[in-house]
Amino acid sequence: MQLYNKLSAKQRATLIDEAGKDRITISFYQYHKIENPQLFRDKLFLEWNDLDVLGRTYVSYEGINAQISVPSENFFALKNQLDTISFFKRIRLNVAIEQDNKSFLKLKVKVRNKIVADGLDDNTFDVTNKGVHLNAKEFNNMLENPDTICVDMRNHYESEIGHFQGAITPDVDTFRDSLGIIEEQLKDHKKDKNLLMYCTGGIRCEKASAYYKHKGFQKVYQLEGGIIEYTRQVNSEGIENKFIGKNFVFDHRRAEKISDEIIANCHQCGKLCDTHVNCANEACHLLFIQCYECSNKMENTCSTECKKIIHLPFKEQKELRKGKHASNKIFKKGRSEKLKFKK
């Protein structure tokens, strides 16, 4: 019984090309008490592997957070499979705005303590006492209200390339960092202002809205389905789009274009650019914004040091990577001092 992916990303990419089938990228989440996350995880892996599902999914005692792709021909089979699970019935599936057959190259279903790393003790407040969910039209109306404070619950590298007009964009590296900072900044407006929140697909706001209500905020609202569902409604219903730039996504696409504006800059030359890349030096793997010209000049690296490293023999490069497997913890996303034009 195969319970883990055994193919490399390169092998899987080849299989996708050979299959010649269009795939659909989707995401969904559900907070629900799962008694045995490991057993549930194994069940999902086996069923999804049979449907050729790829992607990254976290399962915990508190629920599930899934970002996956599936062949178009298997989409309804996947939906039917989800409907057999009681707490998945009629669940909203956020379909990606821009499709890419290689958005994911492996199936990873992992058991985690939490489906989102929020750093909160869920036993200290009612996680089910969430804020009011708003659709795209309601969100736009609330956004125009002068008594509204709109907060982006995402990280700096996400909001840097796209955000809602007039939103507060905390300069944080992680979701857990933003919670306390936002509470402190808005502590004088717990009663008189509308706290309006949004994130990529809605999952971070689910927990944050309950947390802020626990902390005394009385008018708490959140964008249902996040930026992904907002964009779908904007496109299908002809609603005014108040999001500028791109929506950062956590797969090989890295972002979806929501509007024509480019609001970020190449971190190396300062030119208008909103294309995220990872440094070609695997010992670094820094996520940063790089324009086409700098990509050619720097050979897809973030610095002259890394440019030199990628020309070393493979064995020497491998030695340099030792102890640096958790590169995102060592090299913060877009924070390197080597980048001249970082936010």
C-alpha–C-alpha distance, residues 302 and 266, integer Å = 11
Q: What is the DSSP letter of 115?
A: S
d(CA 63, CA 112): 10
Which residues are catalytically annotated?
199
User: Nearest CA to 339 among 52, 182, 331, 106?
Assistant: 331
- 131 φ/ψ angles, rounded to the nearest 5 degrees: -75, 175
- Identify the CA nearest to 276 among candidates 310, 304, 246: 246
* Residue 328 in tokens: 């995102």
Question: CA nearest 167: which of 145, 133, 198, 189?
Answer: 198
Q: What is the rounded (10 degree) CA torsion for 46, 47, 50, 54?
A: -90
The answer to whether the Cα torsion of 13, 17, 19, 23 is positive or negative is: positive
